[in-house]
């Protein structure tokens, strides 16, 4: 996908305000999040936890996490909190905050949600959303998703340190998405292996049954031939 011309309404993190003192609260939350991630592979609940932790630290109540499929030119809403963003639906990559993230290949910041091209939040919710930030979720250099946060405070502007905080959570989301996908592949392969093993067992059982049947038939034929040679009734074999 070719990069579009910069939108004058979009600020990247390079345009954000000068860094404020670093936030101290995230560390405990990130540690708790690491515990959440350990050994869990159900993607939906994990992404919702990541999103909830992010919103709590930023003092916001609305946001979403999407997974991106650049090959098909689409993204899917996987977790939504605080806004009716049609969770579970699939959208083209030229729409919404996630589309802006993919287009910019990095973090994007809007002073107002109304500046987002092709935004999917309608009605009263749309009018209540103001500052908006979207950060890419990456894995091995590829964008596999986006983490989006909305503010309902008209005077709110997301700072550089806040963008860095969200990017930290996006990195955890990347781990969750990748782990879930790898687990799904492993489970599918295990199922395929189990099916193949069962198929082999059935084939062996059929082979053994057929083999025993053939052996019995051969024995009966031998007995019939013996009876015929002896002048006896072969049907008694």
Yes or no: say if 134 and 146 are a contact pair by the CB < 8 Å rule.
yes
The C-alpha atoms of residue 227 and residue 234 are separated, in whole angstroms, by 5
Cα–Cα distance, 176 to 1 (Å, whole number): 26
pLDDT at 23: 45
- What is the model's pLDDT at position 64? 92
Counting as low any pLDDT under 50, the low residues of the chain are 1-4, 13-24, 38
- What local confidence, expressed as pLDDT, does residue 210 receive? 61
Percentage of the chain with pLDDT > 70? 65
Overall pTM surpassing 0.85 (yes/no): no
Query: Under 8 Å CB-to-CB from 59, ≥6 apart: which residues?
Result: none
Token pair of 29, please?
């939350």
Identify the CA nearest to 112 among candidates 148, 151, 147, 84: 151
**pLDDT, position 9:** 56
Q: For residue 72, what are the contacts with CB-CB under 8 A and spacing of at least 6?
A: none
pLDDT given at position 197: 74
d(CA 150, CA 131): 6
Give me the chain's average pLDDT, please: 77
Domain boundaries, the chain: 11-186
Residue 166, number of CB atoms within 10 A of its CB? 24
CATH topology of domain 11-186: Beta-Lactamase (3.30.450)
Cα separation, 165 vs 158, in Å, equals: 11
User: From CA 67, how far away is CA 77, in angstroms rounded?
Assistant: 7
User: Which residue intervals of the chain are DSSP H helices?
Assistant: 26-37, 43-58, 96-104, 123-128, 160-229
Question: Please, are residues 170 and 177 in contact by the beta-carbon 8 Å criterion?
Answer: no
């Amino acid at each position: 996908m070719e990069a579009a011309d910069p939108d004058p309404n979009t600020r990247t993190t390079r345009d954000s305000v000068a860094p404020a003192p670093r936030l101290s609260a995230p560390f405990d939350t990130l540690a708790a999040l690491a515990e959440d991630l350990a050994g869990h592979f159900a993607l939906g609940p994990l992404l919702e936890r990541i999103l909830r932790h992010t919103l709590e630290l930023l003092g916001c109540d609305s946001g979403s996490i999407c997974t991106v499929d650049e090959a098909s030119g689409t993204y899917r809403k996987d977790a939504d909190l605080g806004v009716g963003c049609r969770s579970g639906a699939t959208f083209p990559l030229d729409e919404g905050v996630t589309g802006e993230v993919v287009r910019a290949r990095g973090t994007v910041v809007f002073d107002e949600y109304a500046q987002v091209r092709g935004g999917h939040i309608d009605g009263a919710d749309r009018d209540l959303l103001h500052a908006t930030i979207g950060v890419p979720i990456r894995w091995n250099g590829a964008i596999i998703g986006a983490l989006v946060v909305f503010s309902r405070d008209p005077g709110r502007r997301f700072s550089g340190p806040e963008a860095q905080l969200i990017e930290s959570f996006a990195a955890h989301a990347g781990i969750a998405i990748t782990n879930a996908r790898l687990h799904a592949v492993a489970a599918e392969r295990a199922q395929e292996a189990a099916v193949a093993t069962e198929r082999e067992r059935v084939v062996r059982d059929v082979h053994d049954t057929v083999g025993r049947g053939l052996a019995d038939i051969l024995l009966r034929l031998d007995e019939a031939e013996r009876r015929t040679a002896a002048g006896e009734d072969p049907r008694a074999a």
